[in-house]
């Protein structure tokens, strides 16, 4: 190996802009509570960030027969996603605040969280 980066080509013309999330590409969600509104600015999770959230939410343990099992904690996944996604909000985005959100606010924020399980994964890796 020469230490130089390999030149990667694509027949379809894929560029770096096509495969890397642009941190400047942010979205806004207007939340409403008690007749008041506020804006939450957020970014999509990268593939890596989503995997970190999934990993943090998954617990591995041995059952009574010694078999390895896993348990998924949706509350941890939601918390990790919101901490990574929200860049500006009318409230601090930390564990203490997120765990005390009013249900009405949490339900609105839940609309931006990506599904933990996506059906496209198995189809994309399946060989014909």
Residue 3 has what pLDDT? 65
Long-range contacts, stretch 50-59, CB < 8 angstroms, 24+ apart? 50/81, 50/114, 52/80, 52/84, 53/77, 53/80, 53/81, 53/84, 54/116, 56/80, 57/116
Query: One digit per residue, pLDDT tens: the chain, 128 residues?
Result: 556 665 656 677 888 878 887 776 899 999 999 999 999 999 999 999 999 999 999 999 999 999 999 999 999 999 999 999 999 999 999 999 999 999 999 999 999 999 998 765 554 455 54
Contact 63, 69 (CB under 8 A): yes
Specify the pLDDT at position 6: 57
Which of 68, 81, 64, 86 lies closest to 116, judged by CA?
Answer: 81
- Residue 65: the pLDDT is 96
pLDDT at 23: 72
| Angle of helix 47-57 versus helix 74-85 axis, rounded to 10 | 150
pLDDT at site 123? 46
pLDDT value, residue 10: 62
Apex 24 CA angle, 93 and 98, nearest 5: 10
């Amino acid at each position: 190996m020469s230490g130089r980066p390999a030149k990667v080509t694509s027949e379809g013309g894929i560029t770096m802009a096509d495969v890397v999330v642009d941190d400047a590409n942010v979205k806004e969600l207007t939340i409403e509570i008690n007749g008041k509104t506020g804006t939450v600015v957020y970014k999509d999770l990268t593939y890596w960030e989503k995997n970190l959230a999934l990993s943090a939410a998954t617990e591995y343990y041995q059952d009574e027969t010694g078999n390895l099992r896993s348990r998924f904690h949706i509350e941890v996944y939601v918390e990790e996603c919101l901490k990574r996604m929200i860049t500006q909000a009318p409230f601090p985005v930390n564990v203490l605040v997120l765990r005390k959100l009013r249900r009405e606010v949490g339900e609105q924020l839940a609309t931006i969280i990506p599904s933990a399980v996506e059906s496209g994964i198995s189809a994309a890796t399946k060989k014909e």
